[in-house]
Chain A
């Protein structure tokens, strides 16, 4: 580490630290401090005095808890069944991760409304038979739709854990005289429990931070992210005290969960048994059919959004009233011809953010993994902080920090790009670090020993080896930034609507047909790079997930 002051890597680390300090730490510090010493009465006193805010916190915790429980109850059995048995239609379930990835939450919420809302397809169909469903707004809709989106995270996490579980352990327990079901529970549960808990906690934080579904379906039910958003929109950046206080509350909730998560992961590391995974056993007859039917039902429900926006995008409407069965191209015409600005904006902002985020993550992970110095641990730590910030919190922070002042970004396109970059960077970092850990140092040293200076060696030798991983990280970044809503809706200004923002506004106005058309284009924009990458370049996009 001697002579580090002269190395280019030190200065690069310093630059990265400065950027992270400015765009991550500073806004976060602003939120936390404004909640205490912001203008007006202390935010925390106002919070404790307001029944509405307290109810919002309670509702959010109740909602997140119920969603976590239901998502776990769907995800774990599904994972177990797919990992251990083969049955007709099992291939369909492999689609699950793809579905959650490509369907933005705002569209999922929209389609649930189109099916089960007051004027929804299923609601009207059942009404004809005299069956009245409870209103989809409020608890019923929130819990149903979130559970059916978030169970996939449980599924993905648990499938991986079961895959690593050694079937021999289970057989050993059976050979000692325990009945199969009991032995399974006794032996397997402790081993995969850390994975279940970790993914459940992930679901919990996502439910706490969820904006799109909460906003669209909560109606008069106060929720933390909704009241935070409303406080920010109503008061703008002038009175930042209340919005900062509410944002601080969700930061604290998420930090508590992440702290729990760390402890679980730490313990779990020793418990995962490496070994031969069990061969899936075929399930035939009635049991096979039953399993296939219930698994299929889950997949179909997950696919519902795609089907319904496809129908909706080509269905005529008069104002908020969908004229199901009457087809039209007007909606699509609006997206591409009459009002194409949201599409153009989305492509532009997400494209820029993808380039910046991918580049920054690649360089910073390189510094952290290959050129550690006094600064890199801090860089690594600060770069992970956005994982603990929901989009709403980040939006409030950016708005409070860069509204006016010496760096007046608010009102420009750059603050939207900034929000995208900050939200996605931790994922890019994680991916980049994992890749770099697999590239031996000797590769770069070989290049240097052959006479190529260090920085050029990075570009000529390390970068080409990283490229496939960078490409798949870029695609993931693209798919998630294009769909980003919760932070951008706080920081965007008139004329800078993106596709998700446009969909959100149209749903808010009840214009479902137009919303479907913009939504369909959004899904296409998300899907296209994935298809191109996996078909043309043979990049396994999901390997880095």
Chain B
């Protein structure tokens, strides 16, 4: 089922948390709502579920208006941050709960329950109570419970945030696999950009209750449309720059002490000032200038060794600072105080509207 949200407004008392939000999530899509704490992710998700009434606008599931439908009639599956397993019921009873509500009991239902638990590799724990499970196991039971009823849409609110880093990656894969197999339209809420990039077909970056940018993980990361998105997804060097058009569709950005050529990603908005955005991994360090790139002289100010890469903070004159990530063999070869060369490909430097 596709989810179409049109001009949605949600209020808490007098405060408008979401105003006039429009969003289309295609059928079978793994959609992630990404944004910092308090931006309204949970609110939007719970409005889609029906737990929070919409103050205005409409929500449609495959064209059918569900705005006024109570949550128990929306055919949703939901996975909660705290798992919300029923503590007095066994794992089997937890998973069978939704089936029972649909009048499915007996051997057929038992088979579905067993299958659903098998899918999350918990077939052997059906008779345990939730209290006797680990956090990761609980999360997988919650997933099985939501999936077994074959919901039209699957809604998840930070389902991985209570797990440790390793487990998070493991369950992330389980979720993605199950979703693809069942082809269920999914809305996934997270404030972890890595999670969003790794799992999604489509990401909506939320800012104060509005969708700031909608796009594939690649588009969001490589072509952030605003400074907010550039900042929130990955890290980025951002500078306010004076702009002058240049040859070959490029644009010249004047940062004061240095000038750089960059790709114009302003999308039609023409203005004299803009934001120059360069990802740290797109700044290449070397001892000598490189051919075919723009080169800047810089001085290493400090460095952080991070195993697979080293992150350098560089002075490029004036008060300007750059963060550059070096990968590959010898990435930790520069020391504080070293004079280095920074090479930038104009295709990897972008100018967006300020």
Q: Which A residues are within 8 Å of any B CB, using their own CB?
A: 1-3, 440, 442-443, 445-454, 457, 461, 464-465
Contact = CB atoms under 8 A, between A and B. Distances in A.
Contacts of A1: 13
Contacts of B80: 442, 445-446
B53 A447 contact: no
Contacts of A449: 49, 71-72, 76-78, 146, 155
Contacts of B76: 449
24 contacts: A1-B13, A2-B55, A440-B84, A442-B80, A442-B82, A442-B84, A443-B84, A445-B49, A445-B51, A445-B84, A446-B78, A446-B84, A446-B85, A446-B142, A447-B86, A447-B97, A449-B77, A450-B98, A450-B101, A450-B149, A451-B73, A451-B101, A451-B102, A465-B86
A528 to B, nearest CB: 27
A461 B87 CA distance: 9
Given A445-B51, A451-B73, 18 more contacts: A2-B55, A442-B80, A443-B86, A445-B49, A445-B78, A445-B80, A446-B80, A447-B97, A448-B72, A449-B49, A449-B77, A449-B155, A450-B77, A450-B145, A451-B101, A451-B102, A457-B72, A465-B88
A450 B86 contact: no
B72 A451 contact: yes
A209 to B, nearest CB: 40
A465 B87 contact: yes
Contacts of A3: 53
A447 B53 CA distance: 18
A449 B145 CA distance: 11
B3 to A, nearest CB: 15
A456 to B, nearest CB: 8
B148 to A, nearest CB: 9
Nearest to B157: A442
Interface residues on B, range: 20 to 34
A454 B55 contact: no
A450 B80 CA distance: 12
Interface of chain A: mostly helix, strand, loop or mixed: helix
A452 B86 contact: no
A376 to B, nearest CB: 15
Contacts of A453: 70, 72
A3 B49 CA distance: 16
Nearest to A440: B82
Contacts of B51: 445, 448
B57 to A, nearest CB: 14
Interface in B47-88: 49, 51, 53, 55, 70-73, 75-78, 80-82, 84-88
Nearest to B12: A1
B82 A451 contact: no
Nearest to A445: B51
A461 B75 CA distance: 19
B46 to A, nearest CB: 8
Contact of A451 (B13, B49, B98, B142): B98
A22 to B, nearest CB: 31
A443 B82 CA distance: 9
A471 to B, nearest CB: 13
Nearest to B11: A2
Contacts of B78: 445-446, 449
Q: What are the 10 closest A-B residue pairs judged by CB atoms, nearest first?
A: A450-B98, A442-B84, A449-B78, A446-B84, A451-B101, A442-B80, A464-B88, A452-B101, A448-B72, A448-B71
A180 B71 CA distance: 63
A1 B13 CA distance: 8
A453 B71 CA distance: 8
A464 B87 CA distance: 9
A442 B80 CA distance: 7
Contacts of A446: 78, 80, 84-86, 142, 145
Contacts of B13: 1
A447 B97 CA distance: 8
A465 B85 CA distance: 11
A105 B133 CA distance: 49
A447 B88 CA distance: 13
A465 B88 CA distance: 7
Contacts of A457: 72
B86 A451 contact: no
Nearest to A446: B84
Contacts of B53: 2-3
Given A442-B80, A445-B51, A454 B87 contact: no
Given A3-B53, A447-B97, A454 B84 contact: no
Contacts of B72: 448-454, 457
Contacts of A2: 53, 55
Nearest to B80: A442
Nearest to A439: B87
Nearest to B78: A449
Interface string B126-159: 0000000000000000100110010000010000
Q: Which of A440, A447, A448, A464 has the most CB of B within 10 A?
A: A448
Contacts of B73: 451
Contacts of A440: 82, 84
Q: Which of B49, B76, B80, B146 has the most CB of A within 10 A?
A: B80
Contacts of A451: 72-73, 75, 98, 101-102, 149
B58 to A, nearest CB: 16
A451 B104 CA distance: 12
Contacts of A442: 80-82, 84
Interface in B17-47: none
A353 to B, nearest CB: 28
Contacts of B145: 446, 450
B102 to A, nearest CB: 6
A451 B152 CA distance: 12
Contacts of B75: 451
A464 B90 CA distance: 13
Contacts of A452: 72, 97, 101
A461 B86 contact: yes
A465 B51 CA distance: 22
Contacts of B102: 451
Contacts of A443: 84, 86
B81 to A, nearest CB: 8
B189 to A, nearest CB: 14
B94 to A, nearest CB: 9
A454 B51 CA distance: 11
Contacts of B88: 464-465
B87 to A, nearest CB: 6
A442 B79 CA distance: 10
A450 B97 contact: yes
A80 B71 CA distance: 54
B353 to A, nearest CB: 37
A259 B317 CA distance: 67
B84 to A, nearest CB: 4
Nearest to A467: B88
